[in-house]
Chains A and B, each alone.
Chain A
Amino acid sequence: MITIIDYGMGNLRSVQKAFELYYSKVRISSSFEDILTSDKVVLPGVGAFGVAMQELKKRGLTDAILDSIKKQKPFLGICLGLQLLFSESEEGDKTAGLGVLKGTVKRFQDKQDLKIPHMGWNTIRLKAQGSRLKALEGIPDDSYMYFVHSYYVEPEDRSVVLCETEYGDVFTSGICKDNICAFQFHPEKSQSVGLKIIKNFVKC
């Protein structure tokens, strides 16, 4: 069973639909039990970091997430679900994240001609090799993915970086560490190339 964690941050139907192309047992849930009894866990989400952390806590889900990660269950973070894994975010007043990975979530700097949010299709440059690239198997370097976000992650440990993307500066658009992989872009909105990531996750 794959559980997509519902904590009130965005529509999860399209995420579920993408998984259902490859696997029949996919549920959207905000139940602690459901998460604990799943084989794989997906943390999606769009919106504000602070609100997201509050919503996770309100539902008592932070422990379920940390437990899944500790138990080495395959874990996929999407967009806000990537950012929440980090220590803290600059968004609003500094907010603590789940702290699974060390690093900060930062806002794109206002620069001339740099629109915020970063919205649309941009390329990913692969930064890892060999088995670490499993999550991106079958996905060529410089593939286009669909992004929509105003904040990006800055991991302290650069060895977790799976891919990068350029927008004003170069930022981390995907990470991988042990059983965790997470992306800033939306695989479920990135047509056939994005769906490969979903398929890889289902198969792993």
Chain B
Amino acid sequence: MLTKRIIPCLDVKDGRVVKGVKFLDLKDAGDPVEVAQVYDKEGADEIVFLDITASFEKRQTMLDVVRRTAETVFMPLTVGGGIRNLNDIRDLLNAGTDKVSINTAAVKEPGLVKKSSDKFGSQCIVVAIDALRSIAGKWEVYINGGRIPTGIDALEWGKKVEALGAGEILLTSMDMDGTKDGYDIELTKAFSENLNIPIIASGGAGSLDHLYKVLTDGKADAALAASIFHFREYTIKDTKKYLKEKGVSVRI
């Protein structure tokens, strides 16, 4: 049986982990490769690196991080942040990324989703959607790291990118992100019930029950979380044990 995936996400800036990862047992908790190795050992199902490097010149450092990760971590790696064109995607895939996550560039040029999935295969094209509640039961797509509203309905956008060839959606609730009050169940469920590609829920994880709820009530295929793992509030192992005891199919 296909299991629900638990995915830790690391924010990486200029090749370094930001938002303080507190792993006491690491020599260098700022090195994304070392952190990825720990999650690999603990049984994370995938890893996501979100590149928040601002300057163009320093973006090459991400390729180096990916290369070094692929040397030692034999699990699926997704990289997102700042991807603008087919060349960016190709460079990341060649460095050892398994999937790339496209956000702003997809909104600005939806043809990129089609072109990239035709060229590299749907399996490696993830479209990230940052959604903020607007009116009841509706969400609006934001771009540029959640700074710019687009007027686009999130669910309609999700259906469109599925048709264009996206293999998966990384769905972040901007309302819940950073609150630790739980995922947006209604948003996640709306996507999961209306789309036929896998949905990774993101934004709001503060407890293991939140993960449980989004994977069951929210019907997500995968749950992504950052701080609860980085600050060792819960390990991946704790998380999976908890979910398994509650009857969720997870890989242990």
- Which A positions have Cβ atoms within 8 angstroms of B? 9-11, 13-14, 17-18, 46-48, 110, 115-123, 144, 146-150, 166-167, 188-192, 194-195
Inter-chain contact A121/B74, CB cutoff 8 Å: no
Consensus secondary structure, chain A interface: mixed
Inter-chain contact B3/A121, CB cutoff 8 Å: yes
Question: Distance in Å from the Cβ of B1 to the closest Cβ of chain A?
Answer: 6
Cβ of B5 under 8 Å from chain A: yes
Chain B count of residues within 8 A CB distance of the other chain: 34
Inter-chain contact B197/A116, CB cutoff 8 Å: yes
Question: Distance in Å from the Cβ of B49 to the closest Cβ of chain A?
Answer: 15
Residues of A within 8 A of B4 (CB): 120
Inter-chain contact A18/B5, CB cutoff 8 Å: no
Residues of A within 8 A of B67 (CB): 13
B96 contact from A11, A123, A167, Cβ within 8 A? A11
- Which B positions have Cβ atoms within 8 angstroms of A? 1-5, 40, 43, 45, 67, 70-71, 74-76, 93-98, 118, 120-124, 167-168, 196-198, 221-222, 251
* With contact pairs A17-B71, A189-B75 given, residues A120 and B123 touching in the complex (Cβ less than 8 Å): no
* With contact pairs A10-B121, A46-B123 given, residues A120 and B197 touching in the complex (Cβ less than 8 Å): no
Inter-chain contact B76/A167, CB cutoff 8 Å: no
Taking A148-B123, A149-B123, A195-B74 as given, write out 13 further A-B residue pairs in contact, using a Cβ cutoff of 8 Å, ordered by the A residue number: A10-B121, A11-B98, A13-B70, A14-B96, A17-B71, A17-B96, A110-B196, A117-B123, A119-B198, A120-B4, A120-B5, A189-B75, A189-B76
Return 6 A-B CB contacts under 8 Å, by A number: A11-B96, A13-B67, A17-B71, A17-B96, A120-B45, A148-B167
